[in-house]
Amino acid sequence: MSGSSPERTVLPLPETASTVPAALGISDQVEAFDPVRPVEPPRGAPNVVLVVLDDLGFGTSSAFGGPCRMPTADRLADDGLRYTRFHVTALCSPTRQALMTGRNHHSVGMGGTTEMATAAPGYTGVRPRSAATIAQTLHHNGYSTAAFGKWHQTPAPEVSPVGPFDRWPTGEGFDHFYGFMACEMNHWTPLLYEGTTPVEPTRRPEQGYHLSEDLVDHAVDWVRTQRTMAPDRPFFTYLAFGAAHAPLHVAPEWQERYRGEFDHGWDRQREITLARQKELGVVPPETELAPWADGVPHWDDLGEDQAAVANRLMETFAGFTEHADTQLGRFVDELEALGELDDTLFVYLLGDNGASGEGGIVGTTVEHRLGHGVVDDPHELAGHLDEIGGPQSYPIAPVGWALAMNTPYQWTKQVASHFGGTRDGLIVHWPRGIADRGGLRHQFHHVIDVLPTVLECAGLPAPVTVDGVAQQPVEGTSMRYTFDDPGAAERRTTQYFEMCGNRGIYYHGWTAVTRHGIPWDMVSGGQKRFAEDVWELYDTNADPSQSRDLAASYPDRLRELQDLFLVEAARYRVFPLDDRVTERENPTVAGRIGLLGDRTSTTYHAGIRRLTEENTLDVKNRSHRVTADIEIGADDAAGVIISQGGRFGGWTLYCLGGRPCYEYNYFGLARSTVRADDTLTPGRHEVRMDFAYDGGGVARGGQVTLAVDGRPVGEARVAATIPYYFSFDETLDVGVDLGTPVSEDYAGTDTAFTATIRAVHVAVGDDVVVPDEDARERRVLTSQ
């Protein structure tokens, strides 16, 4: 590429053929051949680092006036720029897909999370190849690229050992990936990937392991290697923490940093935060607190136990957040030690949506319960305060604290209509490219604007063709114009918002919005008609926090903006609106095709593991049979034959002291366990579990029968079952139970099965024909 500047709109850059004639022999070669050179980036292209924290909210970070101390955010903001009117999409996957592609989330098929995908064009969960990622563009232009942490953009049916892998990080432009593929992850016992290969942490929590620290360790090692091996090549690092998304996992010493700091409650915290925000200048002096959300109690209305639980959950959230930011500080320190920080465009996004209200009114120690409409008793939770944040918990804070973390705005994550769900702090740090240190930028911008900003700073055009596929237009607008001019007229004057049926439109400072659903009610989709939604109107030029509804005063303006929303929504493939949340997380309900299609049976073999629910036979809400063909040696069998889920919900077939056992774990609230009386003798055996589902809807109970070699050895009643998903972070495993244990019978032990597993057959349905290879006959399981 030396000697001329490539045009760079067609990627990958074309290979150049040598025009030097070849002699018969090398000794006769007079004219030297041009060596094959790697692609070189534009001269002076900076390193690029994109960092995303999860579920924070505008009023969370100390850099934007919040109560969570974030020293790295403060450091970068004081030496860079704070963007005070930056917006995201109100949910995880959509924000990340928009960030990576520079297009609106519906334009690239991510109208909801990957687990909520449907067949509708704006909701498939599949990035079109006509929307290349920022990593692909930088990679094709000579950058080294790596992603660490949360991905959550690969279509759910493709997260399996058989791929395809072209929409995994290493197929979307990243040379290297170390992290997790799901929406959330247990920070004590995570299930991780390096590239596309499953890996396990080398330490356990009792040995000091924590996922946030692990991610930064790997990011630091990768950057060091780049500077050693290719010091002249710029790098692109994408670091996406799981913090502070549920589960809120952090060591007690980080919780202790905040002990007692939230005793004043969430109402008072909003007032404190707003005052700090005005002092920092991140909100205008005239800003008022937006109205409190209907149905959420004020702090003084809480009982003693409920307040104690809420406080401990908030202390854990704050410690979790500060811990992650402090780990990021180690990465920043390394960039500085390597002499790279000044020449790195560092984009720090303090949230991929607003703080989460999915913890409901009370909060919980097991997040999945609330996703299914199961609400904890605060009096019972108060007896487990010391477990919160540790390996025995999977907590999320109550909505009252989420509202406080979104100060001064209304509502929370999921609610794309109001700024509480869509406005997050953004910090841009680039000493070589930004002269204004500690500056504020008040122009309205959106996450789709990051990609064109990075490309302009790197001196790169948006590609017209990538890998032979013509590209759809980049819908973002570069923010580079604001770097040198704090008073520049904003260039993003229109932006639609939609999530789970909540929707809004921004136009030259005015917003028309309508909230359709309640974030903590995730199982009531489809019960309210969109035409019944009430629209609100705000002039954010005069009312920055959307605190005064002007719909009655300016009906004509409201109608104009409603019509504009329809235009923008049709343009970007928002229709049909879909308000289902938890229901869409079940493939059958959502109407998408999973890896197994419409199969009603499958056979698993020993060593198969890390299968997500999208890629396993769905045993929920139906009768099913699990048949294990095992062979016992001289010693008693122990360990797991097959398991799905973990400590906070799932099922497992295992041996304990040579005895076959089955357990159904209902959200950690109730456990139905069957244990055979006799141990298995040496030799080959069939261990079978029949689950006769009651029928009549979802989440019903059923009768469990455990049998050995066709002879019943035990029964149990399961009063209620988990209807939509066992877990986002745990998997189905054969011959082991990875992550947290489904059953406490084998907690803290090596769960690997000590005998031989020949096969495990799973079949589902009210009339399931199950092959029995030993007897050469077919048995029929009929639901009663």
Is residue 557 in a domain?
Answer: no
Q: Are 704 and 672 in contact (CB under 8 A)?
A: yes
Q: How confident is the model at residue 5 (pLDDT cuts 50, 70, 90)?
A: low
In the block, tokens 């930004």 appear at: 434
- State mean pLDDT over 242-256: 98
Structure letter (DSSP) for residue 247: S
How far is it, in rounded angstroms, from Cα 335 to Cα 329? 10
With a pLDDT cut of 90, the percent of the chain lying above it is 91
Shared domain for 306 and 425, answered yes or no, is yes
Mean pLDDT (the chain, rounded) = 94
652-669 residue pLDDT tens: 999 999 999 999 999 999
Q: End of a domain among 459, 488, 517?
A: 488
Q: Are 328 and 71 in contact (CB under 8 A)?
A: no
pLDDT of residue 452: 98
Is residue 26 in a domain?
Answer: no
DSSP of 572-607 = TT-PSP---SGGGGSHHHHT---TTTT-SEEEE-TT
pLDDT above 60 for 297 = yes
Is residue 508 in a domain?
Answer: no
- State mean pLDDT over 308-337: 98
Specify which residues 496 forms β-bridges with.
505
pLDDT of residue 474: 98
Shared domain for 484 and 614, answered yes or no, is no
pLDDT of residue 668: 96
How far is it, in rounded angstroms, from Cα 315 to Cα 397? 9
- State mean pLDDT over 331-344: 98
pLDDT above 50 for 15 = yes
pLDDT above 80 for 776 = no
pLDDT of residue 783: 30
Q: End of a domain among 460, 488, 516?
A: 488
Is residue 201 in a domain?
Answer: yes
CA dist 221 → 86, 215, 338, 753, 764 (Å): 31, 10, 12, 35, 46
Residues 589, 593, 599, 604, CA torsion sign: negative
Q: What is the pTM of this model?
A: 0.95
Shared domain for 476 and 625, answered yes or no, is no
Q: How confident is the model at residue 78 (pLDDT cuts 50, 70, 90)?
A: very high
pLDDT above 80 for 768 = no
Enter the tokens of residue 315: 């202390």
**Residue 659 in 3-state DSSP?**
strand
Q: End of a domain among 488, 508, 534?
A: 488
Shared domain for 484 and 601, answered yes or no, is no
- State mean pLDDT over 50-64: 98
448-493 residue pLDDT tens: 999 999 999 999 999 999 999 999 999 999 999 999 999 999 999 9
- State mean pLDDT over 356-377: 94
Shared domain for 610 and 481, answered yes or no, is no
Enter the tokens of residue 613: 């629910």
- State mean pLDDT over 525-543: 93
**Residue 150 in 3-state DSSP?**
strand
pLDDT of residue 772: 39
pLDDT above 50 for 141 = yes
Domain CATH code at residue 652: 2.60.120.560
DSSP of 315-357 = HHHHHHHHHHHHHHHHHHHHHHHTT-GGGEEEEEEE-SSSPP-
pLDDT above 50 for 587 = yes
pLDDT of residue 770: 37
pLDDT of residue 778: 31
Strand 235-240 relative to strand 47-53, pairing: parallel
How far is it, in rounded angstroms, from Cα 63 to Cα 40? 37
pLDDT above 90 for 775 = no
pLDDT above 70 for 121 = yes
Q: How confident is the model at residue 415 (pLDDT cuts 50, 70, 90)?
A: very high
Q: Are 661 and 651 in contact (CB under 8 A)?
A: no
The count of structural domains within the chain is 2
- State mean pLDDT over 553-582: 97
In the block, tokens 């923008």 appear at: 568
How far is it, in rounded angstroms, from Cα 293 to Cα 355? 14
- State mean pLDDT over 596-618: 93
pLDDT of residue 2: 39
With a pLDDT cut of 70, the percent of the chain lying above it is 97
Shared domain for 605 and 476, answered yes or no, is no
Burial class of residue 329 (count of CB atoms within 10 Å of its CB; 0-12, 13-18, 19+): middle
Tell me which residue range forms the domain holding 666: 596-782
How far is it, in rounded angstroms, from Cα 375 to Cα 243? 23
180-216 residue pLDDT tens: 999 999 999 999 999 999 999 999 999 999 999 999 9
- State mean pLDDT over 131-139: 98
695-729 residue pLDDT tens: 999 999 999 999 999 999 999 999 999 999 999 99
pLDDT of residue 1: 39
- State mean pLDDT over 674-689: 97
Rounded to 10 degrees, the C-alpha dihedral 549/550/553/555 comes to -110
Is residue 651 in a domain?
Answer: yes
Q: Are 385 and 308 in contact (CB under 8 A)?
A: yes
Q: What is the largest CA-CA distance in the chain?
A: 93
Is residue 253 in a domain?
Answer: yes
Residues 596, 701, 665, 713, CA torsion sign: negative
Is residue 539 in a domain?
Answer: no
Rounded to 10 degrees, the C-alpha dihedral 176/178/184/187 comes to -160
DSSP of 621-641 = TS-EEEEEEEEE-SSPP-EEE
pLDDT above 90 for 218 = yes
Burial class of residue 2 (count of CB atoms within 10 Å of its CB; 0-12, 13-18, 19+): exposed
Q: How confident is the model at residue 34 (pLDDT cuts 50, 70, 90)?
A: confident
Q: How confident is the model at residue 769 (pLDDT cuts 50, 70, 90)?
A: very low
Domain CATH code at residue 173: 3.40.720.10
Is residue 276 in a domain?
Answer: yes
pLDDT of residue 213: 98
256-287 residue pLDDT tens: 999 999 999 999 999 999 999 999 999 999 99
pLDDT above 80 for 680 = yes
How far is it, in rounded angstroms, from Cα 74 to Cα 61? 9
